């Protein structure tokens, strides 16, 4: 089953996407960029840098635009297409309440007429393959039912469904029953997204839904970047993870201004990176480090704790992948 990398604002920027596809080449067939939006009437330079073709040097990636008021939506697609992209993902899944209130992201799901209007705008852009990333609804898990004929008429190359409502944000139970209903009713290819953390999860979803186009992983891939690797020995896995970390450190050092920014960026990576693995004491040390030198030492100790777990010196986890 193909694995797609989900977009996560603040985490899966081009540095991360390039580094991951370099170290874990072939594990992920396509990386999705966090959404492009218009803020205070303008594109954010940071967002444009993130999707600039010259920055996306490794792996295949698809830019994403957020569903938003019609005139802004046309500008977002126009800008993305003008950068040479012929595949664009439309975000109808972001549950951030200020956006939802303005009928942006997942907020549009309660308004079928607005969905219809936005998709009509997209249709006017000839030669672009559109996919959609969405949730079940805003408050009710069956809101998608009203949207199904509109989406089918749009003929997307696929729809990624995260089977939660916007109100649930990223917690609470995944609604697999509603996912099954959506999957059965869809006349277009469907991608599953939600709470995939291990190869066993990928196998279970693939077995349950044999016609799936692909599986998309977000937080689970940040936590377990070796996801979707077959038969990986523990020591090899740790070595690859260390390579990924070191490449990220080196690349962020080149792209960010000064050690304070670098330290903040690397610490934010550890919000998900290898969560639940290695020594908790070392993790705390990493998060508390006040200089890059202290950070490097804490990370060294962390790798040692993983090695000790692998050789049985500390009882603990087995490889996740
Ligand atoms: C911090 C954060 C930022 C996110 N940013 C985006 C985004 O820009 N575009 C998008 O479609 N989804 C975004 N998502 C949602 C993820 O792509 C994904 O759908 C969600 O995390 C559920 O999948 P997972 O359980 O595999 O993480 C974000 C999620 C988080 C936690």
Q: Is 133 in the pocket of ligand 1 (CB under 6 A)?
A: yes
Nearest CA to ligand 1 atom 3: 8
Structure tokens at 297: 């030492």
What pLDDT does 230 receive? 87
Distance CA 28, CA 170 (A): 22
Distance CA 316, CA 39 (A): 46
> Phi and psi for 197 in degrees, rounded to 5?
-125, -20
Q: Is 224 in the pocket of ligand 1 (CB under 6 A)?
A: no
What pLDDT does 315 receive? 56
Q: Is 9 in the pocket of ligand 1 (CB under 6 A)?
A: yes
Q: Is 6 in the pocket of ligand 1 (CB under 6 A)?
A: yes
Name the CA radius of gyration of the chain, rounded.
20
User: 297: CA distance to ligand 1 center in Å?
Assistant: 31
193 neighbors 132 (Cβ within 8 angstroms): no
Structure tokens at 252: 């962020």
User: 8: CA distance to ligand 1 center in Å?
Assistant: 5
Which residue stretches of the chain have pLDDT < 50? 321
User: 87: CA distance to ligand 1 center in Å?
Assistant: 19
Q: Is 193 in the pocket of ligand 1 (CB under 6 A)?
A: yes
What pLDDT does 58 receive? 82
**What pairs with residue 89 in β-bridges?**
64, 131
What pLDDT does 99 receive? 97
**pLDDT one-digit tens code per residue, 194-238:** 999 999 999 999 999 999 999 999 999 999 999 999 888 999 999
User: 11: CA distance to ligand 1 center in Å?
Assistant: 10
13 neighbors 212 (Cβ within 8 angstroms): no
SS3 185: helix
172 neighbors 164 (Cβ within 8 angstroms): yes
286 neighbors 267 (Cβ within 8 angstroms): yes
Nearest CA to ligand 1 atom 20: 218
Looking at the domain that runs over 3-223, which CATH code has it been given?
Answer: 3.20.20.70
**What pairs with residue 50 in β-bridges?**
none
Task: Compute the mean pLDDT over every residue in the chain, rounded to the nearest whole number.
Answer: 95
């Amino acid at each position: 089953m193909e694995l797609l990398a989900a977009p996560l604002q603040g985490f899966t920027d081009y540095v991360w996407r390039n580094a991951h596809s370099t170290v874990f080449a072939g594990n992920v067939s396509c990386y999705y960029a966090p959404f492009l939006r218009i803020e205070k009437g303008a594109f954010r330079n940071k967002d444009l840098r993130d999707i600039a073709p010259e920055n996306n040097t490794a792996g295949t990636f698809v830019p994403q635009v957020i569903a938003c008021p019609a005139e802004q939506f046309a500008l977002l697609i126009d800008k993305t297409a003008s950068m040479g992209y012929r595949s664009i993902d439309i975000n109808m899944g972001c549950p951030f309440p200020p956006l939802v209130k303005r009928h942006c992201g997942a907020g549009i799901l309660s308004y079928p007429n607005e969905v219809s209007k936005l998709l009509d705008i997209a249709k006017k852009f000839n030669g672009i393959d559109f996919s959609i990333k969405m949730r079940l609804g805003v408050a009710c898990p069956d809101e998608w039912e009203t949207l199904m004929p509109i989406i089918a008429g749009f003929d997307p190359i696929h729809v990624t469904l995260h089977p939660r409502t916007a109100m649930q944000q990223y917690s609470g139970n995944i609604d697999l029953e509603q996912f099954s209903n959506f999957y059965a009713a869809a006349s277009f290819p469907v991608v599953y997204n939600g709470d995939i953390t291990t190869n066993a999860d990928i196998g279970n979803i693939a077995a349950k839904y044999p016609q799936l186009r692909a599986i998309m992983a977000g937080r689970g891939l940040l936590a377990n970047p070796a996801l979707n690797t077959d038969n990986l020995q523990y020591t090899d896995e740790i070595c690859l993870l260390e390579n990924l970390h070191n490449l990220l450190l080196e690349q962020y050092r080149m792209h960010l201004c000064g050690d304070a920014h670098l330290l903040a960026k690397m610490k934010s990576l550890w919000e998900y990176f290898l969560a639940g693995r290695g020594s908790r004491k070392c993790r705390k040390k990493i998060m508390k480090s006040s200089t890059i030198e202290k950070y490097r030492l804490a990370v060294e100790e962390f790798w040692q704790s993983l090695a000790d777990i692998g050789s049985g010196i500390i009882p603990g986890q087995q490889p996740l992948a």
